[in-house]
Structures are given as structure tokens and as C-alpha cells.
Amino acid sequence: MSTIPSADISDKKFFSDDERYADLINGLICQGRPVVRKEDLQDLDTQTGIWNDPAIHKSKNRRRVKLRDLVKKASFGVNFLVIGIENQQTIDYSLPLRCMTYEAGEYERQAAMIRRAVRNADIKQNPGEYLYSFSKENHLHPSIIIVLYYGELPWNGSVDLHGMIDFSGIPEEFHPLIQNYRIHLVDVRHLQNTDVFKTDIRQVFDFIRYSDDKTYLKKLLNTSEYQMLDKDAYEMIATHTSMSTLLEPRMMQTRGGKINMCKAIDIWLAEREAKGISQGISQGISQGLSQGLSQGISQGNDETSYKMLMKIIVSRFGKKAGELASPTIRYLTSDERIDLVETAATTDTFAHFQDALRRATTETQRSPQSPAPHQ
């Protein structure tokens, strides 16, 4: 049985790729210029420090370890920059403090390595260097964190430490002395320009941005990029939208290692439409609206159910299968077609669907001869 990944896991898988990591940094910070190259990236340990933080599981010595999502270092000549990515699904009102501890932990990690080297060095040291194992010539490498927020609600939390601090009653003279820390937060659903990305980050972010705009989403899906998506990109889209059904194995049909998002969406939309019609029928019956229901089916839903079922058949088994099945499906009632929607969407082969179609036509005894088995 296949395991459906969480958003957190799909995020880490997607951005663990160095090409995407570099593209994200270049797009968000460098306006798309290739400043960071994938060849210059190297993974770093996501454990950056130890604090007494109740949000982290206790270790044996009752001290707690902070784990980050993704951390890499980008080399620039003899120096390097530590770049972290934090993926955020919901609003965390303590996020500035959390990110500040991440960065403090990274600098403390670097300082610990320097202290170890200084202690082991056989050189003359002044009293301060000897006591603190940190010389005047030692320097830390810079560190930054980018937070990617995917939530549907607009971010209304603070983006800096001062926004979390209660200054009421504190004299103005002290305010400048209270150090601030600002986070670099990117609200993915409200990005203004995704053309700065050169990889499939653009396709993923665009789908998430417009997942509630069905008209624009349809335009996106007409482009060739969504017909050949990497599995990691496909999973990112599915876990960050209300389309978790797309992660079911029957939806993830690969060809050459790629997934056709357009075909999966066609099946998803048809199933959702079928579910809506079924719920409407059940509601109508329960409310005693049998007369109005019958009129609705005969006047409107009859053609809708035909188109819906045919769309799934063509999407899953091809145009030829649709041509073979169409004459028989025309003779079915709307209810019978709706009953066959799930079969068409879940069965392994067109031959299996034909078996179900034959059973349906045998029960009605109104159909022409069932279509010959599809080769």
C-alpha cells in the first residue's frame, strides 16, 4: 500500500534538489540572476543547537535539540553563506523568535568548531583567547533563513521580534536599545512574479497561487509543462491544495518517469462533479422533491452525466476506448452512468470497465450490443 506524504515531507523532498534550491534563492533574492549555482551548494546538518524549548522532544539528559527543515551552504570563493529554508503551513505567531534561535544556533555551531580548533592549535594566545578559545582573527560565516508560507489565510503574524514584545509602559529612551530580529517571509499564494524561476518551482507555485481560481487554473493546465511533471513537483501541488485525492496511486500514472497533471485533474474534477450530483439526488429524495428531481435529471443531468463519464474514460483509457464505449453509455440512465464513474476512475484496465458496463446494460435490457473488447 502506498503511503501518502505529508506537506512537510513533500516540501523537503522537492527542495532537497540542489538545482531547485539554487533557483529558489536566485528567484527570490537575486531577481532571477544565477548568482547561486547548484554546484556550489552543500548540505549542512539541520541540528543547529540545544535549548530548553518545550516544542522539542526531550532527550535523555533533559536538554532539547532544534531541528530545521533544510540547510545548505553556498560557496563564494573562499567564503560561504549558510542558507536555510523553513516551510510553514500555518501561522506561527512565535516565528520570529524561532527563526532567531535557529540562526543563533548556527552561529554557535560555527563558534564551537572555531573554539575546538583554537584549543588544539599550538600557538601563543593572549589571556582572552586562552579563556574563550576565540581569537581576533576568527570570523563567523553569514547565515540567512527564508520562510515559505503556504497557508490559505493571509499572514497576520509579526515578521520581527519587536512585533512580539510588549513595549507598553517602557520609556521611549530604552526602545532603540532593544535589539530586533526580522524574518524573511514569502507568502507563496500571494507572490507577484514567478517568471524569475527557471525550474518547475514556477509550475508548483503558480498552481498553488491559483488553486482557487478554476478559470485561470484551466489555462495553466493547457500548457505542456503540466503534462510532464516530476513526481516531487506533483506531490508538492497535491499536498498544498485541497486535492489530496491526486496522491492516490490510481491518479499518479507515470510515463517516462513523469506524471500528467492535466489527466489527473480531469479525473478529479469528474469524480467531484459525480459526487455533487449524487449528493444532490440524495438530498432531493430525502426532502420529497422527487418530481423536481426527475425533471432535473431528464432535462440537465442526463447530458452532464454522459459527458462526465466519457471524460474519465478518455482520460484513463484513451480516445479509442471512448469511441467504443460511447454508444452503450448513451442508452444508460443518468443514475447508471453515475454508478459507473467510480468504476471508470479506479479500475485497472478498460476491459474491466467493459465488464461493469455489460452488467449495467444487461440489467437495463435497453442497450444495443455491448462494444467488443478493447485491444
292-307: per-residue pLDDT in tens? 434 444 445 667 778 8
Q: How far apart are CA 42 and CA 81, in angstroms?
A: 11
Higher pLDDT, 356 or 184: 184
Q: In this structure, how many other beta carbons lie within 10 angstroms of the beta carbon of residue 324?
A: 21
Whether the predicted pLDDT of 54 surpasses 60 = no
Residues 297 and 189 placed together within one structural domain of the fold: no
Whether the predicted pLDDT of 114 surpasses 80 = yes
**For residue 263, is it within any domain?**
no
The H-assigned helical ranges of 80-239 are 95-120, 127-132, 201-209, 214-221, 231-239
Residues 189 and 104 placed together within one structural domain of the fold: yes
Residues 16 and 113 placed together within one structural domain of the fold: yes
Q: What is the average pLDDT across 61-78?
A: 78
Whether the predicted pLDDT of 372 surpasses 50 = no
Q: What is the average pLDDT across 36-40?
A: 95
**For residue 2, is it within any domain?**
no
Q: How far apart are CA 194 and CA 209, in angstroms?
A: 10
176 in helix, strand or coil?
Answer: helix
- Tell me the whole-structure pTM to 2 decimals: 0.69
**For residue 354, is it within any domain?**
yes
289 in helix, strand or coil?
Answer: coil
Residues 40 and 153 placed together within one structural domain of the fold: yes
Residues 186 and 46 placed together within one structural domain of the fold: yes
How do residues 185-201 score in pLDDT, each as one tens digit? 999 999 989 999 999 99
pLDDT at residue number 228: 81
**For residue 277, is it within any domain?**
yes
pLDDT at residue number 170: 96
Q: How far apart are CA 333 and CA 160, in angstroms?
A: 61
User: CB-based contacts of 121: which residues, under 8 Å, 6+ apart?
Assistant: none
**For residue 142, is it within any domain?**
yes
Whether the predicted pLDDT of 274 surpasses 70 = no
User: CB-based contacts of 85: which residues, under 8 Å, 6+ apart?
Assistant: 15, 21, 24, 69, 70, 71, 145, 146, 147, 148
Q: The C-alpha cell of 9 is what?
A: 515531507
Q: How far apart are CA 145 and CA 134, in angstroms?
A: 25
Burial class (CB in 10 A: 0-12, 13-18, 19+), 41: buried
**For residue 339, is it within any domain?**
yes
Residues 188 and 279 placed together within one structural domain of the fold: no
Residues 12 and 102 placed together within one structural domain of the fold: yes
Residues 178 and 319 placed together within one structural domain of the fold: no
Q: How far apart are CA 321 and CA 365, in angstroms?
A: 22
Whether the predicted pLDDT of 97 surpasses 90 = yes
Write b or e for each residue in 190-213: b if 16 or more Cβ atoms lie within 10 A of its Cβ, otherwise e: ebeeeebbebbbbbbbbbbbbbee
Residues 53 and 143 placed together within one structural domain of the fold: yes
Q: How far apart are CA 64 and CA 50, in angstroms?
A: 5
pLDDT at residue number 314: 83
Query: At 251, is the pLDDT very low, low, confident or very high (cuts 50, 70, 90)?
Result: low
Percent of the chain clearing pLDDT 70 (strictly above): 77
Question: Contact, 85 vs 29, CB < 8 A?
Answer: no
**For residue 375, is it within any domain?**
no
Residues 145 and 282 placed together within one structural domain of the fold: no
**For residue 65, is it within any domain?**
yes
Residue 111 structural domain: 7-159+171-195
Question: Contact, 305 vs 334, CB < 8 A?
Answer: yes
Strand partners, 70: 85
Residues 76 and 191 placed together within one structural domain of the fold: yes
255 in helix, strand or coil?
Answer: strand
Higher pLDDT, 112 or 60: 112
Whether the predicted pLDDT of 283 surpasses 70 = no
Strand partners, 72: 43, 83
Question: Contact, 269 vs 307, CB < 8 A?
Answer: no
Residues 90 and 190 placed together within one structural domain of the fold: yes
Total domains in the fold of the chain: 2
Higher pLDDT, 182 or 242: 182
